Structure 1
Amino acid sequence: MVAAKEDAPKVTSETSTFDDAITTLGDFGRYQRRVFFLVCLLPVSCGIQALLTVFTLATPDFRCALPELPNDTYSEAGTFHEELLNLSIPWDVDNDDKPMRSQCLLYRNRNQSAPPGELFANRSTSSCHSWVYDHSTFTSTFIEQADLVCDKREYHANADMIYMVGLLVGSIVMGVVSDRFGRKTALMICVVLIMGTSIGTAFASSYAAFVTLRFFIGIGGMGIFLSAYTLGLEMVGRSVRTVAGSALQMFWPVGLFLMTGVAYGVRDWRHLQLALSCPSALFLAYAFLINESPRWLVSRGRHDEANVILNKVATVNGVPAPPTVGGSDEKQEMKNENPLRMFTNKTTLIRTLIIFVNWVVVTMVYYGLSLNVGSLGGNIYLNNFLSSLAELIGYCVALAGLDRLGRKVMHCGSMILGGVACLATMLPVMYGGESKDWILVALSNVGKLGASSAFSIIYLFSAELYPTVARNSLMGASSMVARIGGIASPYIAQLNVIVGGDLGAALPLVIFGGSALAAGLLALFLPETLNRPLPESIDDAINYGKETKEGPPKASYTNIAFTI
């Protein structure tokens, strides 16, 4: 916590609004830069824990273990081993139609050899109950430890789904905690929660323990990101809020770069989980390094505490203390309207449903493409690095175009670009030949770029379309609806395993692409919000886009509730 100097300037007797105080203190002074840098480190940890299962739940190559050979290994160890495999395990084909040992079946009567190509010919089979795994890429993964293969292959998707449910619960519970008890309080609760559960995951010995801990990691991760986003933006001025919001999101892929690098060097899933979770203990120091949001304190009527913090800000920034924040003019009178009225008017109903659809689809496509990295051809570490790079570029593209081309053009363009790229994956499947794996990777990354760009834009675009009287409620509803897409994404990503073959490799991308294209085209029916007044009442929202007269303040982060 930044300590106030003894010669800190005194508060004047004049009163002001919080935005007036920020104007006096500076939009992005030394104090704000210090706090902003600290909160930017939080999404790094969130990104790591969100997508760490790309490695910890990776499925290495495997096959049925030989019951007659207790020390069986995945690689063939000589002629005798090969002959025993031919007697015991039928041949199958992989996604490239190349011969491979069956992963889930054993011959019942193991007394004759089955050469490649005679797939299960005239011989009965039964399911195997133990497996051997290829350790050329991973020393171990949780999939191998718990044998989540064959009849249990859907357990992988279930684990990712339970994490998404944790995000849903976190968006509800931690949003309430943040608004009622403070941003810093919610942040520290979630830091302790995610530190304990992420470290505990490394010691999980059962599937139930693993997914339970992942559920609480989801709650903590959502709470941390929500608190970081709110703390980061509530302390800066209007001139830097658009850039600050995008910059906060850019630190998410920074975590993914770090995760990929550490995963490349640490191939055991327990050691990897520990290596990437233990550093979260450093965030406990935020209890002393970060103050509560003075904007939140003002909103709760705790003006004296807010003014003490604002004096500290003035001291660190080297500027005179702002007028005292408080007084009856701090709160604007707002007509008491029911947010449900947005669903009784045809115009606002259609727009709200289009926004909901876009939240669901962009969340589904983003997480689906991220989780699908391990199923693409080539090296999983390189693929994940390229996917993270595509995400970072997507955020930069969104930031560069938001105030030039507008929210609608950028969002629709990002969704359509990502959708077309994913749909185009059918072409290499049909005509790509030997090079199709790299074409699939390239098109998947273009899709990830579009999804990431759209993800960063949808927060701002939807918040500017919702009226002030219902903005908090509708942004919260949008975030909750979005989790439907997150819950569905791991199951769609797993279709490649269920379907198999070339079609299985492309099917998840085609589903993501078709959904993104449809949602992007639907968003064309939404009005542009760039440089337009924000709708204050529901009547304003009904008439939004129909008039050009001057009204309330123009759309910017300044008047938008910071709800995730």
Structure 2
Amino acid sequence: MWPHFNSVGCESMADFGDVLRSIGEFGTFQKRMVFALCFPNIILPFQFACVFFIQSDPERHCNTDWILKADANMTRQEQLNLTVPLERDGSFSRCRMFVPVDWDVGTIRDHGLNQTTVCQNGWIYNSELYTATIVTDFDLVCDRAYLLQLAQTVMMTGILLGCLLFGPFAESFGRRRAVQIPMVANLIFTVTSALCPNVLLFMLSQFLMGIGYGGFRMNAIILATEWIGPSKRSWGACVTQLFGALGQALLAGVIYIIRDWRLAQFITAAPLAVICIYIWFLPESARWLLERGRTEEAKELLLKVAAVNKRTFKESLLEKIVVKEKTEKKSGVVILVQSSVLRKYFFTLLYAWFSVNVAYYCVSFNVGNLGLDVFMTQLLFGLTETVAQILCMWLLEALGRRLSIISTLLTGALLSALMLAFIPGYPVAVTALATSGRLLANWAASVCNVYVQELFPTSCRQTASGLGSFASRAGGLIAPLVNMLATYHWSIPMVIFSGLTLISGVLSFVLPETRGIELPDSTDDAENNRNKKMTKKECESNVHIKSSKL
């Protein structure tokens, strides 16, 4: 078999890409791996149900059942008239009540009550939309309303920390363990979240669950991608996002049927338990095994993969890769900073990831405030993102990585800015623009996931991915805080996240095209082979030399 080469450059015979071409770039084994690692992303969006599907200011009034001691047969309307003050618009106060008194009901009716206080015995909520949410169960209203944004922020902090912790963990202990352990954590703390009796324990469970979520999402993409050849490599990231989009669409139906956040958590835990069983049997990344010097394990695994794909594995290729791996300096994060070329790419991707997640979660946390039915809006979010990811897999190969990320970032920034022209009073237009902007942010994140695999060498690929995921989750972390600025003016959050996305789109012009190029196994590959062009004569000469050695 002749070694593969293309117009970008000729692949070295010592590249892992030659091994993948020998055993199959995207055969039966890779398809099983991708499905096994991506299927959990259908379920993981359900974990956001408790912080997405809420009414931040639900219809309510103070619990004033104290007056029923004076007249147990009093109607609800009469009770409100006697115990709850009116606002200026004539509605009953949501946060204040009249101070309880030890009078008979006749005296109360004759003289009325004048002194008010904050709600002393909780609230009574209108449950027409939801049976129970974290807002109603933990009374996150009035002077406790800030705890809602805090709960959202705590969860995003956990996701951010998960990316930070499990990046270095995967470098030291392997991609497989960095996928398995976070998934078990997801299962455990999804259940404990549903059982929490108060908001502090709930936030602790959400924080720990977020660590598992962040660790799994990041490392699942890495593990899948490192087994796929260049012709289908974008599938590793895009199918992950595709399954996540399907999960977003299914989430709308699940919450529409259930309407109770605790029950939704338990339902989420059931498939997670099944995933925890099968995911324990997934194989390790052969790239990582070779990089760690575990050659015999890698060889045994590659032989099994070749058998599954019904291909023949040439062990001579592995020997040349081992020689190359021994010459590569294992510098981790240091090489990302020391190399001027990689540093430029690295910080550009960090900023792009950060900006798209600020935009994505600013819109997501406002799903109930866009003006249309919350379930329909969420369904539109999921369905449109599903279509976008299918297109993304095709366009990444047809148009390339560079054009894809530039166009999605700049177009997304434009659509987000257009929302300023329609809010308030135009719910259909706002929802359409928000859906499109969220779609493009999700699309851009997929391109970032592909880019981070293709720009950096094996020795620091996981570190780059971990720090990139850290930056993206930092964007999600500050999104609730950005939304809080709407209390000063409704346009401030949109100005911020559309501006961030616009800047990242401009900066992305410095990124190179990596379509069809093998993953770099060394720093030299990453620095010198991105834009290197070889003439046809040089390629043919290189191929002749390689083939004579096979």
TM-score normalised by structure 2 residue count = 0.80
Cα deviation for residue 135 of structure 1 reads 0.3
CA distance in 2, matches of 1:462, 1:181: 20
CA distance in 2, matches of 1:136, 1:320: 62
* Equivalent residue in structure 2 for 1:273, among 246, 265, 270: 265
* Equivalent residue in structure 2 for 1:422, among 392, 416, 423: 416
Q: 1:448: which partner in 2? A: 438
Cα deviation for residue 32 of structure 1 reads 2.3
- Within 5 Å, give how 1:134-213 maps onto structure 2: 134-213=126-205
1:291 aligns with 2:283: yes
Q: 2:87: which partner in 1? A: 91
CA contact (8 A) 1:444 1:509 kept: no
Counterpart residue type for residue 505 of structure 2: G
Change (3 A) 1:148 1:41: same
Change (3 A) 1:550 1:162: farther
State the secondary structure of the residue aligned to 2:350.
Answer: helix
Q: CA RMSD in A?
A: 3.7
1:317 aligns with 2:313: no
CA distance in 1, matches of 2:39, 2:517: 33
* Equivalent residue in structure 1 for 2:506, among 514, 521, 540: 521
CA contact (8 A) 1:167 1:222 kept: yes
Deviations 1:275-310 (A, max 9, x none): 112221101322564223333222222222223323
Cα deviation for residue 263 of structure 1 reads 1.1
Deviations 1:358-379 (A, max 9, x none): 2221121112222221222222
1:488 aligns with 2:487: no
CA distance in 2, matches of 1:187, 1:350: 29
State the secondary structure of the residue aligned to 1:395.
Answer: helix
Q: 1:373: which partner in 2? A: 367
- Within 5 Å, give how 1:277-426 maps onto structure 2: 277-286=269-278, 289-323=281-315, 325-326=318-319, 328-331=322-325, 333-334=327-328, 352-426=346-420
CA distance in 1, matches of 2:201, 2:270: 19
Listed as ranges, the gaps of 5+ residues in structure 1 are 1-14, 94-98, 111-122, 554-564
State the secondary structure of the residue aligned to 1:361.
Answer: helix
Structure with the bigger percentage of helix:
2
CA contact (8 A) 1:43 1:228 kept: no
Counterpart residue type for residue 284 of structure 1: C
CA distance in 2, matches of 1:474, 1:289: 26
CA contact (8 A) 2:242 2:386 kept: yes
State the secondary structure of the residue aligned to 2:197.
Answer: coil
Cα deviation for residue 141 of structure 1 reads 1.0
TM-score normalised by structure 1 residue count = 0.78
- Within 5 Å, give how 1:216-227 maps onto structure 2: 216-227=208-219
CA distance in 1, matches of 2:514, 2:313: 35
CA distance in 2, matches of 1:177, 1:342: 18
CA distance in 1, matches of 2:307, 2:511: 45
Cα deviation for residue 398 of structure 1 reads 3.1
CA distance in 1, matches of 2:279, 2:77: 63
CA distance in 2, matches of 1:237, 1:532: 9
Cα deviation for residue 78 of structure 1 reads 6.3
Cα deviation for residue 102 of structure 1 reads 2.9
CA contact (8 A) 2:416 2:494 kept: yes
Counterpart residue type for residue 46 of structure 2: I
1:131 aligns with 2:117: no
State the secondary structure of the residue aligned to 1:253.
Answer: helix
Q: 2:548: which partner in 1? A: none
Task: Choose 17-26 or 410-419, whichever is displaced more.
Answer: 17-26
Cα deviation for residue 54 of structure 1 reads 1.0
Q: 2:255: which partner in 1? A: 263
CA distance in 1, matches of 2:133, 2:298: 49
Q: 2:25: which partner in 1? A: 27
Deviations 1:142-190 (A, max 9, x none): 2111111111111111111111221222112222222222222222222
CA contact (8 A) 1:358 1:520 kept: yes
Counterpart residue type for residue 294 of structure 1: A
* Equivalent residue in structure 2 for 1:244, among 229, 232, 236: 236
Cα deviation for residue 203 of structure 1 reads 0.4
Change (3 A) 1:272 1:540: closer
CA contact (8 A) 1:17 1:326 kept: no
CA distance in 1, matches of 2:517, 2:329: 21
State the secondary structure of the residue aligned to 2:124.
Answer: strand
CA distance in 2, matches of 1:284, 1:463: 26
CA distance in 2, matches of 1:507, 1:64: 32
The percentage of aligned residue pairs carrying the same residue is 27
CA contact (8 A) 1:314 1:320 kept: yes
CA distance in 1, matches of 2:187, 2:223: 20
CA distance in 2, matches of 1:323, 1:361: 45
Change (3 A) 1:92 1:372: farther
CA distance in 1, matches of 2:29, 2:343: 43
State the secondary structure of the residue aligned to 1:443.
Answer: helix
Change (3 A) 1:389 1:549: same
Deviations 1:376-406 (A, max 9, x none): 2222111111112232233234333323333
Q: 1:105: which partner in 2? A: 96
Q: 1:562: which partner in 2? A: none
Change (3 A) 1:461 1:23: closer
CA contact (8 A) 2:25 2:231 kept: yes
CA contact (8 A) 2:50 2:261 kept: no
Change (3 A) 1:25 1:337: closer
Counterpart residue type for residue 390 of structure 2: C
CA contact (8 A) 1:42 1:228 kept: no
Deviations 1:225-248 (A, max 9, x none): 233212222222222112332112
Counterpart residue type for residue 489 of structure 1: A
Cα deviation for residue 69 of structure 1 reads 4.6
Counterpart residue type for residue 515 of structure 1: L
Change (3 A) 1:538 1:131: farther
CA contact (8 A) 1:140 1:267 kept: yes
Cα deviation for residue 439 of structure 1 reads 1.9
Cα deviation for residue 537 of structure 1 reads 5.0
CA contact (8 A) 1:390 1:448 kept: no
Higher relative contact order (CA 8 A, sep 6+): 2
CA distance in 1, matches of 2:326, 2:24: 23
Counterpart residue type for residue 491 of structure 1: L
Change (3 A) 1:494 1:242: same
